[in-house]
Amino acid sequence: MLEIKKFKDPILRKKCLEVKLTDEVRSLINEMKETMYAANGVGLAAPQIGRSERIAVIDIGEGFLALVNPKIIKKEGSAIFEEGCLSFPGIFRKIKRAKKVKVTALNEEGENIEIETSGFLACCLQHEIDHLDGIIFLDRLSQLDKIKDKFKKCLKKY
């Protein structure tokens, strides 16, 4: 199992580079898959394990997805999802995201795939692709939610 980087690690803020699908990348995908399952997660992006490649894995209970060089090519609507993150254990927040997305990527076999989906899978795809762009889910909080979080911290302090 790989080590999952936590919230203060600077790699979580790095934009990842596209990769060529090689045996090394396939091996990394398998290690990421094992790490995600061992941590009871539904998604894991390469920066979360200290790598700066555009690779993510997802399984929301509908089957395993490996995404190499994923891109969101279409977004529609908006929805609020409660999200957590393996790099931010115990923190869950309601985040506004696109309700429906279309994503292109390569799978672990090197095949071009296109996923058009809504609901929880759309949320997970956006969350993991954000990681690949150096964006963490807390960056997506509304200003009001950020102020509420700061206020709660102040209250605990006093």
Residue 141: the pLDDT is 84
Residue 104 covered by a domain = yes
Residue 3 covered by a domain = no
pLDDT band, very low/low/confident/very high, at 37 (cuts 50, 70, 90)? very high
User: Which CATH number covers residue 121?
Assistant: 3.90.45.10
| Annotated catalytic residue 128 | yes
**CA dihedral sign, ordered 22, 125, 51, 41:** negative
Q: Considering its fold, how many domains does the chain have in total?
A: 1
**How far apart are the C-alpha atoms of 120 and 47, rounded to whole Å?**
22
The answer to whether 50 touches 13, Cβ cutoff 8 Å, is no
pLDDT value at 157 more than 80: no
Residue 14 covered by a domain = yes
pTM for this prediction: 0.90
Residue 2 covered by a domain = no
- Say which of 53, 83, 108, 128 is annotated catalytic: 128
Q: Pick the more confident residue, 72 or 144.
A: 72
**How far apart are the C-alpha atoms of 148 and 143, rounded to whole Å?**
9
- Please state whether beta strands 55-58 and 65-76 pair in parallel, antiparallel, or not at all (unpaired): antiparallel
Beta bridge partners of 100: 76, 118
